[in-house]
Amino acid sequence: MLSATVFEDGGGSKEITDHDRISDLVGEPACLLWVDVLDPSEDDLKLIQHEFSLHPLAMEDLRHPGQRPKVERYDTHAFIVAYASNGNPRHLSELNLFVADGWMVSVRHSYKGDGCVDVLNIGARFDRTREGHNTVGFLLYTLLDAVVDTYFDALDSTEDELEEIESRIFVVDGPNESSLQQDLLVLRRELLLFRRRVVPLRDVLQTILRQEVRPVREDVQRYFQDVLDHILRVIDTLETQRELLGNAVDAHLAVVNNHMNDIMKKMTSWGAILFGAALVTGIYGMNFEYMPELRWHYGYFVALGWMLLLTTGLYTWFKRKGWL
């Protein structure tokens, strides 16, 4: 699905529905053209390659999703790959951007029909704030800022999962045990894959800030500095969450080990208590001809009494020792 918008220098923007007019607008100095393609068909790709003379190597990347976030500079344009989240750290959709003087092309791959970044909203925001900055650099900033904002939503989600897991660490018993292990594994994997999509974006921003991406002029550098600062915060938070998760894993392992000690102490204690009683029954089960107690009238009840005494005595002793 291809849509094209023109932002005129004097203010005001309009949607271009007739795609043949795009070629006229490329190179037009008084306006800024943004072409956005969602889930491009082969025809869309051919159209934009032809209209904007995109480099074949970049086109090949477009056709093979799953690229690393990066920036590539070609003679007439730069090519940027980034990922946006729809608030869930597992749902990352690829975003390919071509920027040149006077135009930007964004090619988005949606995640289960969700394009993750709301281009209408970004266009409207750009329209509102572009005064004095009707350049592709400021448009790129507006877009990347929105992309990085989606990361904070994703971080909130992982933060919640982390807290939920931490609250379950010290509860060893119960049927949720193996699901805790699975949740830990899932969250670790989530943080790992998310981080892999965010960290290289730092290098992209640093390349822009070293002014190596020509269409981005010096007057908007400050804004990209702000985006970089947000990315650093995201990475910082991700690292912290990873370490906290690592701590949680360690703590849980220690808790499991301690729990085993507890079980063994219980087992030993009950074993001793029951065995004590059994020993009494064994003794009076012997078949000696002369065993005076056996002839006593209340011998049986005395034996039961002994067993009870032994049992409660051992029980109290183990209880006091903290084994039961």
How many whole angstroms separate alpha carbon 142 and alpha carbon 116?
A: 15
Which residue in the set 256, 308, 309, 319 belongs to the binding site for a copy of itself (CB under 8 A)? 256
CA distances from 115 to 30, 36, 147 (A): 30, 11, 11
Which residue in the set 30, 120, 263, 308 belongs to the binding site for a copy of itself (CB under 8 A)? 263
For helices 136-168 and 221-284, angle between their N-to-C axes, nearest 10 degrees: 10
How many whole angstroms separate alpha carbon 137 and alpha carbon 237?
A: 28
* Residue (147 or 187) nearer to a copy of itself, CB: 187
CB of 316 to a copy of itself, least distance (A): 16
Q: Is 322 in the site for a copy of itself (CB under 8 A)?
A: yes
Applying the rule CB under 8 A, the residues between 147 and 206 that interact with a copy of itself are 169-170, 172-175, 177-178, 181-182, 184-185, 188-189, 192-193, 196
Tell me the window of 13-21, 120-128, 205-213, 289-297 that interacts with a copy of itself (CB under 8 A): 289-297
Q: Which residues contact 176 (CB under 8 A, 6 or more apart)?
A: 168
Which residue in the set 209, 284, 310, 317 belongs to the binding site for a copy of itself (CB under 8 A)? 284
Applying the rule CB under 8 A, the residues between 65 and 84 that interact with a copy of itself are 67-68, 70, 72, 74
* Residue (1 or 309) nearer to a copy of itself, CB: 309
For residue 97, report the phi and psi dihedrals to the nearest 5 degrees: -125, 135
The answer to whether the CB of 140 falls within 8 A of the CB of 97 is: yes
Written as one string, the DSSP assignment of 63-125 is HS--PPSEEEE-SS-EEEEEEEESSSTT-EEEEEEEEETTEEEEEE--BTTB-SS-HHHHHHH
Applying the rule CB under 8 A, the residues between 25 and 64 that interact with a copy of itself are 55, 57
* Residue (102 or 276) nearer to a copy of itself, CB: 276
The structure tokens listed for 46 are: 């051919």
Q: Is 255 in the site for a copy of itself (CB under 8 A)?
A: yes
Which residue in the set 294, 310, 315, 317 belongs to the binding site for a copy of itself (CB under 8 A)? 294
Applying the rule CB under 8 A, the residues between 205 and 224 that interact with a copy of itself are 222-223
